[in-house]
A and B are shown apart, each in its own frame.
Chain A
């Protein structure tokens, strides 16, 4: 007689295999409750959701309700869980924890989406504001600087810059006055004389020293103001 060692039962081996492969489980069909109770606690939220949705025609909540409560607590905290439990007791209603979990998750997602959108809007606004304050190239050319000349020196004066009509009139009067006209005339004469002397030479006396004669003759053409 051999000493019988503890042989693992086929059931146990199968449970182990199922637990190892829980991510591939879908429709669990008519699997025994006490077997499911050994396997399903090893599921994640997504896996449990998938199994319950795949197992049509059978309500798994006798097994899964406590699992969903555990998930709810893990996700949303003990405080929230207790609050919900209290409320249900007060109002004498019972909701399946799977439903509560799904509802709360949806609420949270919606709230998050809202705040994301709000932040996006704020960034957009800030961007637009910055854009509007940017330095931009423009095609307008700034007006050229005006050089004001009061003593223009005769007929060269430009009095179109003057904004005031009065100043314009005053300038006109001045430019047309005797003194300015005299100065301008003398300037003209000087130029002509200078040219004239160099070509006109009196025979005998003045030949040879052109420069001397010009300098002597140019003396009287001093400006008088």
Chain B
């Protein structure tokens, strides 16, 4: 995996998730952050920090990104969400436009 093709997503607790740029782009918000000129402060060096999103949620979001790519390529499986995460995950997903 080439360094340029990845991004780093950082949670509120400081956990770093390194994922494919392609996966990250599933989120409209992140896509905007990474592609627009005159970038956001969060996107310095291909890193995006999310101070309001907890580690557990961010991890789940990354999982979703990959699942989404898989689904789009024809492999339709089920994406299971733990009920206790559903509300928080929903709000984060809403924020990320994903």
Q: How large is the interface on B (under 10, 10 to 19, 20 to 34, 35 or more residues)?
A: 20 to 34
Closest residue of chain A to B27 (Cβ to Cβ) is: A10
Assess whether B74 is in contact with A31, with CB atoms less than 8 Å apart.
no
> Chain A contact residues: over half helix, strand or loop, or mixed?
loop
Assess whether B86 is in contact with A18, with CB atoms less than 8 Å apart.
yes
Closest residue of chain B to A10 (Cβ to Cβ) is: B93
Assess whether B83 is in contact with A14, with CB atoms less than 8 Å apart.
no
Q: Which residues of the partner chain B approach A14 to less than 8 Å between Cβ atoms? A: 81, 86-87, 89-90, 93
What's the minimum C-beta distance from B92 to chain A, rounded to whole angstroms?
Answer: 8
User: Which of B64, B74, B94 lies in contact with A32, CB distance below 8 A?
Assistant: B94
Closest residue of chain A to B70 (Cβ to Cβ) is: A7
Cβ of A25 under 8 Å from chain B: yes
Q: Which residues of the partner chain B approach A29 to less than 8 Å between Cβ atoms? A: 87
Assess whether B87 is in contact with A10, with CB atoms less than 8 Å apart.
no
Assess whether B83 is in contact with A32, with CB atoms less than 8 Å apart.
no
Assess whether A5 is in contact with B72, with CB atoms less than 8 Å apart.
yes
Known interface pairs A9-B98, A10-B64; A18-B87 also in contact (CB < 8 Å): yes
For the complex, what is the distance from the CA of A52 to the CA of B93, rounded to whole Å? 24
Q: Which residues of the partner chain B approach A17 to less than 8 Å between Cβ atoms? A: 81, 83, 86
> Chain B contact residues: over half helix, strand or loop, or mixed?
helix
Interfacial residues, chain B to chain A (CB-CB below 8 A): 61, 64, 68, 71-74, 76, 79, 81, 83-84, 86-87, 89-91, 93-94, 96, 98
Known interface pairs A5-B71, A7-B68, A7-B71; A35-B94 also in contact (CB < 8 Å): yes
What's the minimum C-beta distance from B10 to chain A, rounded to whole angstroms?
Answer: 19
What's the minimum C-beta distance from A51 to chain B, rounded to whole angstroms?
Answer: 11
Assess whether A28 is in contact with B98, with CB atoms less than 8 Å apart.
no
For the complex, what is the distance from the CA of A8 to the CA of B93, rounded to whole Å? 12
Closest residue of chain B to A14 (Cβ to Cβ) is: B90
Known interface pairs A14-B86, A24-B83, A31-B87; A9-B72 also in contact (CB < 8 Å): no
Cβ of A127 under 8 Å from chain B: no
Ranked 10 nearest A-B pairs via Cβ: A14-B90, A10-B93, A21-B83, A17-B86, A17-B81, A11-B93, A18-B86, A10-B98, A7-B71, A10-B64
